[in-house]
Amino acid sequence: MSFRSAVVTFPGSNCDRDLAVALEKISGNECIRVWHGDADLPDNLDFIGLPGGFSYGDYLRCGAIASRSPVMRAVIDAANRGVPVFGVCNGFQVLTESGLLPGALLRNSGIRFVCRDVTLKVENAQSLFTSGYEAGQEISIPVAHHDGNYHADAETLDRLEGEGRVAFRYVGEVNGSARQIAGVLNAAGNVLGMMPHPERAIDAKHGGTDGRALFESAIRGLVGA
Amino acid sequence: MKVRVHVSLKSGVLDPQGRAIHHSLEGLGFAGVNDVRAGRLFELDVDESVTDEALDDMCRKLLANMVIENYRIEKVA
């Protein structure tokens, strides 16, 4: 089996290694590390990961400056060609700022940084990233963010719900997100952004392994392993 | 040329920071404050050759997130 993945590192990313390790452990293949200033991505990628962290110190808006970096032009082109792109936490913020996903992530409604395990409900278990879960399944995944309050206008939210593009929803109040949305897909289903960190829940030593199925889903979906 | 760009949240977008500032003002004993919305001010020093269209483009492409924010360009001098 060959699974060719890459993780982008922006200045201030701090979960890039975690994401690369998760991809390597679960796929058994090396994950290529890409720097934000690179104008091109490696050829023939099966999967692109945008990691959590505080790119550019969250200056201007979270993810705003990273989303305008050279490598993002290549990521946007790849996403538009159908290459799977997965953004976690700051990576989700980069995806909304780049326009690959709708909406925006605002400061948590309770002002505080939230760092704990949360329960997520799997809303769409048929996507590339979620087929390893059951619809309605509840999973435990850590969050660690200050700006995870998902916002979009009512029309956009209705469209996301109607098209099955809400991948995960929080069970209970976490950050004020509209309709408790924790993760959304693009229209084609090859781009997923989510605030919780599945890469921090892939080994029993993490305290849980509910994040594994997300990576297993994508890898199985892409290489049929 | 000095240009000020005022960026503010669209009405209807929740502003937790504004709410916290409002709460703090009340805590200091200031009465009669009905609402607080926090925004951002950018001061740009640009060449005279920079067009209004280019300024608009800067706001739309970077300074403001059009999903949640509005902007207003003010030429100072």
3-state secondary structure B6-38: EEEECCCCCCHHHHHHHHHHHHCCCCCCCCCCC
Q: What is the CATH number of the domain that holds A171?
A: 3.40.50.880
Distance CA A107, CA A35 (A): 27
Distance CA A174, CA B8 (A): 25
Q: Can A197 be counted among the known catalytic residues? A: yes
- The two three-digit tokens of residue A67, written as one number: 């989303």
Could you give the angle at the alpha carbon of A66 between the alpha carbons of A30 and A14, nearest 5°? 50
Chain-centroid distance of CA A138 in Å reads 18
Domain extent for B29: 2-75
Dump pLDDT digits (tens) for A120-153.
999 999 999 999 999 999 999 999 999 999 999 9
Candidates A56, A59, A61, A146, partner chain B, best to mutate (most B CBs within 10 A): A61
Q: Can A199 be counted among the known catalytic residues? A: yes
Dump pLDDT digits (tens) for A87-97.
999 999 999 99
Domain extent for A145: 5-223
- How much is the pLDDT for A221? 87
Instruction: Give the count of Cβ contacts less than 8 A between chain A and B.
Output: 36
Distance CA A85, CA A79 (A): 6
Mean pLDDT for the stretch of residues B52-58: 97
Q: How many domains does chain B have?
A: 1
Q: pLDDT-based confidence at A36, cuts 50/70/90?
A: very high
Q: Is A97's CB within 8 Å of B65's CB?
A: yes
0.90 exceeded by the pTM?
A: yes
- How much is the pLDDT for A224? 64
- Does the ipTM surpass 0.90? no
Q: How many domains does chain A have?
A: 1
Q: Can A89 be counted among the known catalytic residues? A: yes
Residue B58: name the closest of A213, A68, A182 by CA: A68
Mean pLDDT for the stretch of residues A14-20: 97
Candidates B21, B22, B24, B62, partner chain A, best to mutate (most A CBs within 10 A): B62
Dump pLDDT digits (tens) for A168-214.
999 999 999 999 999 999 999 999 999 999 999 999 999 999 999 99
Q: What is the CATH number of the domain that holds B9?
A: 3.30.1280.10
Pairing of strands A5-9, A31-35: parallel
